[in-house]
């Protein structure tokens, strides 16, 4: 405990509750074995235009209800100084964010990032191009709180550490609540990310339409529902490998322990294998059966009859003598 306090003091973030309410708040911020669903915050910078605001609102719609949209404009520069942003994210208990801005040097600017231990972990800056909002698509939308299917197109996602980290960020940002099982009817929304050679990410959103096919499995079609936007990569600031590895650590209680000599078949039935010492069958205790038991009464009668016959024979021998 003292080491933890010293570490927090070195970071300049020693927090001590002065009231019972503050103590409850600090206790709620402590690490959990199973963390809550990650929430997102959407912010507008001091200079923002309508195009960037529409892009923020559409992404916010995809993230609801695990998202917060701040209507007030903020004077923040995440790449230069993220102190105020980190404090605001900690206040709302959010670890993902997206902020829109617009200026002459970087028009239609969108900054997205995430935090770890209330410090900025990764930052990515994009230029929004060719935006078509969800309202412009006159189609049926998907239901709320639907876990999307994330599709990454292009070999560029595995070419460089930057794009590998960006892919990991998009998965972390859009995956929603983790679930072990998803019903077929729940596969309703698809998000497609296509990486081009010009460092542009093509973001597309589709609704999965299942139609009759005459077979057991339905025929699947994709219908674009928006938003549609091209994200031109500008700047990035990713954490070091050691920090990123620390952010991926899981508690020991959540790690799956492999059990020796146990396996499961396709139906989920568990099978176990036992290793025993070599047995001596000669001294093995077998089950007693009634048919194999000897009758003590019959054996005693047989013994008495044999004894009487021997006595008669001996008497006859005495008479002959």
In a domain, 109, yes or no: yes
Greater model confidence, 137 or 284: 137
Query: Which of 256-267 are b and which e, b meaning 16 or more Cβ less than 10 Å from the residue's Cβ?
Result: eeeeeeeeeeee
pLDDT confidence of residue 293: 61
In a domain, 19, yes or no: no
Domain limits for position 131: 36-247
Residue the block writes with tokens 């003292």: 2
Query: Which residues are CB-neighbours of 98 under 8 A, at least 6 positions away?
Result: 40, 41, 42, 43, 56, 59, 110, 111, 112
pLDDT confidence of residue 12: 47
pLDDT confidence of residue 55: 96
CB count in 10 Å sphere of residue 85: 22
- Measure the CA–CA gap between 311 and 315, rounded to whole angstroms: 6
Residue (of 226, 242, 246, 32) closest to 140 by Cα position: 226
User: For position 182, which CATH number holds?
Assistant: 3.40.50.10480
User: How many domains does the chain fold into?
Assistant: 1
Give the pairing of strands 149-153 and 189-195. Answer: parallel
Q: Does residue 7 have a pLDDT over 60?
A: no
Q: Does residue 58 have a pLDDT over 70?
A: yes
pLDDT confidence of residue 57: 96
| Tens-digit pLDDT profile for residues 76-115 | 999 999 999 999 998 888 999 999 999 999 999 999 999 9
| Tens-digit pLDDT profile for residues 245-295 | 998 887 777 777 777 888 888 777 888 888 878 777 777 677 766 666 665
Quick one: pLDDT band at residue 1, thresholds 50, 70, 90? very low
Residue (of 63, 178, 49) closest to 112 by Cα position: 63
pLDDT confidence of residue 216: 82
Burial class (CB in 10 A: 0-12, 13-18, 19+), 56: buried
pLDDT confidence of residue 304: 56
What does the block give as tokens for 220? 């699947």
In a domain, 308, yes or no: no
In a domain, 297, yes or no: no
For residue 56, give Cα distances in angstroms to 129, 134, 195, 305, 308: 13, 12, 21, 110, 114
Would you say 120 and 247 are in contact if contact means Cβ atoms under 8 Å apart?
no
In a domain, 172, yes or no: yes
pLDDT confidence of residue 232: 96
| Tens-digit pLDDT profile for residues 40-57 | 999 999 999 999 999 999
Q: Does residue 206 have a pLDDT over 60?
A: yes
| Tens-digit pLDDT profile for residues 310-320 | 555 455 545 54
pLDDT confidence of residue 296: 56
In a domain, 190, yes or no: yes
Greater model confidence, 137 or 180: 137
pLDDT confidence of residue 89: 93
In a domain, 50, yes or no: yes
């Amino acid at each position: 405990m003292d080491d933890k306090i010293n570490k927090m003091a070195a970071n300049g973030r020693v927090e001590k509750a002065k009231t019972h309410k503050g103590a409850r708040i600090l206790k709620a911020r402590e690490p959990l074995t199973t963390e809550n669903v990650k929430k997102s915050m959407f912010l507008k910078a001091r200079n923002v235009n309508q195009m960037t605001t529409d892009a923020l609102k559409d992404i916010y719609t995809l993230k609801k209800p695990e998202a917060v949209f701040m209507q007030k404009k903020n004077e923040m520069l995440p790449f230069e100084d993220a102190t105020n942003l980190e404090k605001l994210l900690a206040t709302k208990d959010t670890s993902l964010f997206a902020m829109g801005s617009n200026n002459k040097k970087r028009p239609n600017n969108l900054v997205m990032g995430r935090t770890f231990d209330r410090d900025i972990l990764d930052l990515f800056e994009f230029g929004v191009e060719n935006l078509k909002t969800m309202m412009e698509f006159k189609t049926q939308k998907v239901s709320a709180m639907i876990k999307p299917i994330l599709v990454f197109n292009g070999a560029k996602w595995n070419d460089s550490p930057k794009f590998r980290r960006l892919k990991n960020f998009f998965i972390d940002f859009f995956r929603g609540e983790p679930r072990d099982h998803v019903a077929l009817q729940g596969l309703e929304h698809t998000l497609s990310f296509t990486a081009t050679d010009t460092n542009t990410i093509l973001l597309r959103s589709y609704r999965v339409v299942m139609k009759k096919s005459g077979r057991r499995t339905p025929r699947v079609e994709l219908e674009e529902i928006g938003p549609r936007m091209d994200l031109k990569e500008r700047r990035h600031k990713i954490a070091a490998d050691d920090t990123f590895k620390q952010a991926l650590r899981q508690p020991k209680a959540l790690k799956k322990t492999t059990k020796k000599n146990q396996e499961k078949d396709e139906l989920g039935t568990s099978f176990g294998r036992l290793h025993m010492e070599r047995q001596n069958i000669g001294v093995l205790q077998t089950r007693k059966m009634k048919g194999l038991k000897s009758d003590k009464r019959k054996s005693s009668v047989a013994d008495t009859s044999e004894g009487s016959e021997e006595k008669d024979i001996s008497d006859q021998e005495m008479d002959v003598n």
